[in-house]
Amino acid sequence: MLRQALESAYTRTLGELKGTVARSMSSLMEGGGLVRVLYVVIIVVYMSGFSLAVLYPAPVQSLTPYPSPSFETIPDAFVNAFVIALGGAGIYLVYLSGRQTATPRMVNFYLSAGLLLLIVSLFIGIDMAVLKGFG
């Protein structure tokens, strides 16, 4: 009895997950959504310095950021991309808080979550700049 209940819950969960992925992929494919996503990814890649890390690599490509302002490594670029994406998500949530007029509680939630993401990305970016030797 317990096994049958767990199996049915598992299959329902997988079915819901497949449906959610199918709906999100179909909405992404129609209306130029894939082009928008690729555009944002390309902008983040160029802003974070992946091209500098590939064209002018640091002498030591380690897992920690290279402590020199004149070199860029692949881990530096990943951290920079994370900071840019986190800040972008914060800006988007703050934007949604201005558009959300259904319930005031959700407006406050979006605004506080967006500001929190912006503050976290700012602190990580400053920490990365200090680690690189800029400050």
pLDDT, block means (10 residues), the chain with 135 residues? 72 77 70 76 80 72 68 81 90 83 78 93 89 74
Q: How many residues does the chain have?
A: 135
Residues 6+ positions from 129 with CB-CB distance below 8 Å? 135
Q: What is the pTM of this model?
A: 0.65
Residues 6+ positions from 122 with CB-CB distance below 8 Å? 87
| Confidence at residue 123, expressed as pLDDT on a 0 to 100 scale | 93
Q: Give yes or no for a contact between 80 and 46, defined as CB atoms under 8 angstroms apart.
A: no
Residue 15 lies in a domain: no
**127 class by beta-carbon count within 10 Å (0-12 exposed, 13-18 middle, 19+ buried):** middle
| Confidence at residue 100, expressed as pLDDT on a 0 to 100 scale | 61
What is the extent of the structural domain holding 84? 49-132
Give the span between the Cα atoms of 47 and 61, in whole angstroms. 20
Give the span between the Cα atoms of 90 and 55, in whole angstroms. 31
| Confidence at residue 118, expressed as pLDDT on a 0 to 100 scale | 93
| Confidence at residue 9, expressed as pLDDT on a 0 to 100 scale | 73
| Confidence at residue 135, expressed as pLDDT on a 0 to 100 scale | 60
Number of domains in the chain: 1
| Confidence at residue 116, expressed as pLDDT on a 0 to 100 scale | 95
| Confidence at residue 130, expressed as pLDDT on a 0 to 100 scale | 85
Residue 80 lies in a domain: yes
Q: If we measure between CA atoms, which residue out of 53, 54, 47 comes closest to residue 68? A: 53
Residue 77 lies in a domain: yes
| Confidence at residue 113, expressed as pLDDT on a 0 to 100 scale | 92
Give the span between the Cα atoms of 61 and 44, in whole angstroms. 21
Residues 6+ positions from 101 with CB-CB distance below 8 Å? 107
Residue 69 lies in a domain: yes
| Confidence at residue 61, expressed as pLDDT on a 0 to 100 scale | 67
Residue 112 lies in a domain: yes
| Confidence at residue 22, expressed as pLDDT on a 0 to 100 scale | 74
